[in-house]
Amino acid sequence: MMQNVHLAPETDEDDLYSGYNDYNPIYDIEELENDAAFQQAVRTSHGRRPPDGVTRPMTAVRAAGFTKAALRGSAFDPLSQSRGPASPLEAKKKDSPEEKIKQLEKEVNELVEESCIANSCGDLKLALEKAKDAGRKERVLVRQREQVTTPENINLDLTYSVLFNLASQYSVNEMYAEALNTYQVIVKNKMFSNAGILKMNMGNIYLKQRNYSKAIKFYRMALDQVPSVNKQMRIKIMQNIGVTFIQAGQYSDAINSYEHIMSMAPNLKAGYNLTICYFAIGDREKMKKAFQKLITVPLEIDEDKYISPSDDPHTNLVTEAIKNDHLRQMERERKAMAEKYIMTSAKLIAPVIETSFAAGYDWCVEVVKASQYVELANDLEINKAVTYLRQKDYNQAVEILKVLEKKDSRVKSAAATNLSALYYMGKDFAQASSYADIAVNSDRYNPAALTNKGNTVFANGDYEKAAEFYKEALRNDSSCTEALYNIGLTYEKLNRLDEALDCFLKLHAILRNSAEVLYQIANIYELMENPSQAIEWLMQVVSVIPTDPQVLSKLGELYDREGDKSQAFQYYYESYRYFPCNIEVIEWLGAYYIDTQFWEKAIQYFERASLIQPTQVKWQLMVASCFRRSGNYQKALDTYKDTHRKFPENVECLRFLVRLCTDLGLKDAQEYARKLKRLEKMKEIREQRIKSGRDGSGGSRGKREGSASGDSGQNYSASSKGERLSARLRALPGTNEPYESSSNKEIDASYVDPLGPQIERPKTAAKKRIDEDDFADEELGDDLLPE
């Protein structure tokens, strides 16, 4: 043994490489020729069998297929390939219980997924059906699994997901009782871990049902189930508790919840709701503190990363790529929500936190200027001006807006837009146009400014130029409905009815239930001489505003033109019910009852007309005529006498009195005849003096009459409704009867409609919209500043 041990000499202690040439002599190949065992193995390996009787040494070749049979002439086949292909694997039995369970479990999972997908697509009914199918199949699966395996092997996760999805689908389909029962099944099952958090969902359902006490109870139970390390979840549950207290009117309890949230993890919603709660209880100082807490909530938005600090092309490319990505959009939404909460809170508390709303706004402005929301200070100033407008203090509002008009471009454009609107409503079109120009020059992409400029041009009658401004406003903001409405009115003025109709139909697609838009479409169809379409669209207006008397009278007029008297009477009567002072409607109804020979019913309408227009003799003569036609001559005589006392110089009334008294054999006939003769003689003398003294007066009067008739034709459109009704009233008792007026012209001249041409009333509403409501700042400030 010692011959294989090599001791290093003492002189090699410092040699780091000593010993590397030493090796075990068993690996020495130089001595293999003298090794008898190795030589014997080599001879055996070359097929030289040892003599009989000598036992073959054990080797590893037998396991590889080297057998005695192979050495005796059989082919080398270590893998037994000569035996043919292997027999196929035994197929699994599809009818086995395990396979049925796996297939059923797969179907349940697919149904749950389909239910969730249907819910996300908005098909809530299909989602509920899929959830119910999943629940039924899952129960079948549980029974089969219990028959095959032990209860411990039941897939609890699948059962939980099926029940939870079913409860969710019940909830979104407003089947709250079923949803609560399903949640109860989950919560009471002790095998489901962390199922107690679902009590928050149950609280949400009770909140929707306005069962506030139970909602708070389940929220608190859910809060107890959430560990303290899950801080965000606890905060959200406490916010729900605060909202429930607010809806229940328990503001003190809500304040406790929100104060705790603001001390632990302040957020915008909690700060906003806290401000509302203090406003509800009227605590001024606490309102101020809550507003200051809301202002100090961090936004956690880094604006600097969107500004490229260098001229590096790669850095600039990255900056451009992230300027409008999803994260940036989320940050914009968060900032917009913060500004909305702050502005709403300021507008809410400013009028009450100080002795005057102006002082309150000043305090809010100072607080905002000292915060990260400096740009909102100018918006608060504009809201201050709006408050002055609501209090009818226009001078103060104009003063504030003029100060803001001198600031940066964004605020300048908004202030100038409001000033333009104010001067426009005051009919000072020069100042309105001037400030509209300032607003447009400050911000050419402000659709409200462009709309106001178009309105000032529209008021001056330059409709083509107004249309250009409205088009530019639409190019800057395709959702500017005011510009789209006004351009429709402009095309209508230009008699480009097809284009006007196209504009209003587009607007109808945006504002589905706008009565103004529906009426304009009907009006254009009427101008295009398509009464059936006009009636159809007016019926839609009635469905939106069923009590509008002007729309109802317009429907009656259209049906009257079409010859449908019964429908016309129905809508005229409905219009009269809602507004019994429309002379045109009263006149039509009276004429209708005369046509149908219901004299007594016609009398009540003409009596109302005489009350509305007491200076018009026409209505009292019609009342007397109705009494005469109904056979009540004494009442007719009394009415004529009363009319003569009120209008002693009316020739027509005297003529009726003379003929009626003569037929009745009364002595008063001679007196009335003398009065009639004297009045006719005075009338002839007056006419001769006018004719001889003013030679040119006839031509001037003819021109005026022509102008008036032209205006009447314009106001009454193609129907000449007033002329038809007056002609009908003149012809009612018959021109060949002795008691009727022989001077119809005088009666017509005495009729003056104090309400104006009724057919233009809805157009007046449209003009009112273009005068006032077509500005993007409907309340002068709320939506002035573009985001």
- The pLDDT tens digits for 725-755 are 444 444 443 323 333 332 332 222 222 222 2
Q: Would you call 564 exposed, middle or buried from its count of C-beta atoms within 10 A (0-12, 13-18, 19+)?
A: middle
> CB-based contacts of 648: which residues, under 8 Å, 6+ apart?
675
pLDDT at 516 over 50: yes
| Average pLDDT, integer, range 447-463 | 93
Nearest to 169, CA basis, from 124, 209, 202: 124
In which band, very low, low, confident or very high, does the pLDDT at 24 lie, cut at 50, 70 and 90? Answer: low
Residues 364, 346 contacting (CB under 8 angstroms): yes
Distance (Å, rounded) from C-alpha 336 to C-alpha 787?
Answer: 8
Distance (Å, rounded) from C-alpha 172 to C-alpha 192?
Answer: 23
| Average pLDDT, integer, range 199-214 | 94
| CA of residue 201 relative to chain centroid, distance | 28
Amino acid at 2: M
| Average pLDDT, integer, range 555-580 | 93
Nearest to 405, CA basis, from 16, 784, 80: 784
| Average pLDDT, integer, range 656-663 | 87
At 77 the pLDDT is 64
In which band, very low, low, confident or very high, does the pLDDT at 162 lie, cut at 50, 70 and 90? Answer: very high
Amino acid at 135: G
Amino acid at 80: S
Lowest-confidence region among 338-347, 391-400, 653-662, 715-724: 715-724
Distance (Å, rounded) from C-alpha 535 to C-alpha 523?
Answer: 10
At 583 the pLDDT is 92
Q: Which two tokens stand for residue 696?
A: 């040119």
In which band, very low, low, confident or very high, does the pLDDT at 58 lie, cut at 50, 70 and 90? Answer: low
At 772 the pLDDT is 33
DSSP, residue by residue, 97-148: HHHHHHHHHHHHHHHHHHHHHHHHTT-HHHHHHHHHHHHHHHHHHHHHHHHH
CA distances from 455 to 38, 442, 481, 779, 782 (A): 116, 18, 14, 17, 20
| CA of residue 618 relative to chain centroid, distance | 52
Average pLDDT, the chain: 79
> CB-based contacts of 777: which residues, under 8 Å, 6+ apart?
417, 418, 421, 448, 783, 784
Lowest-confidence region among 305-319, 362-376, 397-411, 611-625: 305-319
Residues 513, 544 contacting (CB under 8 angstroms): yes
At 91 the pLDDT is 59
Distance (Å, rounded) from C-alpha 314 to C-alpha 307?
Answer: 13
Half-sphere exposure of 195 (CA within 13 A, CB side): 19
pLDDT at 199 over 60: yes
- The pLDDT tens digits for 457-493 are 999 999 999 999 999 999 999 889 999 999 999 999 9
Residues 111, 134 contacting (CB under 8 angstroms): yes
More confident residue, 138 or 307: 138
Q: For residues 648-681, b (16+ Cβ closer than 10 Å) or e, as one string?
A: eebbbbbbbbbbbbeeeeeeebeebbebbeebee
More confident residue, 620 or 405: 620
Residues 488, 507 contacting (CB under 8 angstroms): yes
At 146 the pLDDT is 80
pTM of the model: 0.58
Distance (Å, rounded) from C-alpha 721 to C-alpha 560?
Answer: 10
At 220 the pLDDT is 93
SS3 33: helix
- The pLDDT tens digits for 85-98 are 666 665 555 667 78
pLDDT at 280 over 90: yes
* Neighbour count for residue 145 (Cβ, 10 Å): 20
Per the listing, tokens 């189930």 go with: 225
At 715 the pLDDT is 35
Q: Which two tokens stand for residue 331?
A: 């940050």
At 654 the pLDDT is 87
Q: Which two tokens stand for residue 4?
A: 């294989």
| CA of residue 784 relative to chain centroid, distance | 18
Q: How many residues does the chain have?
A: 787
Nearest to 223, CA basis, from 239, 206, 247: 239
* Neighbour count for residue 193 (Cβ, 10 Å): 8
Per the listing, tokens 């807490």 go with: 293
Reduce the secondary structure of 568-586 to three states and give it as a string: HHHHHHHHHHHCCCCHHHH
| Average pLDDT, integer, range 578-594 | 93
Distance (Å, rounded) from C-alpha 732 to C-alpha 676?
Answer: 24
At 500 the pLDDT is 94
More confident residue, 514 or 695: 514
* Neighbour count for residue 213 (Cβ, 10 Å): 9
Rg of the chain over CA atoms, in angstroms?
Answer: 49
Half-sphere exposure of 455 (CA within 13 A, CB side): 37
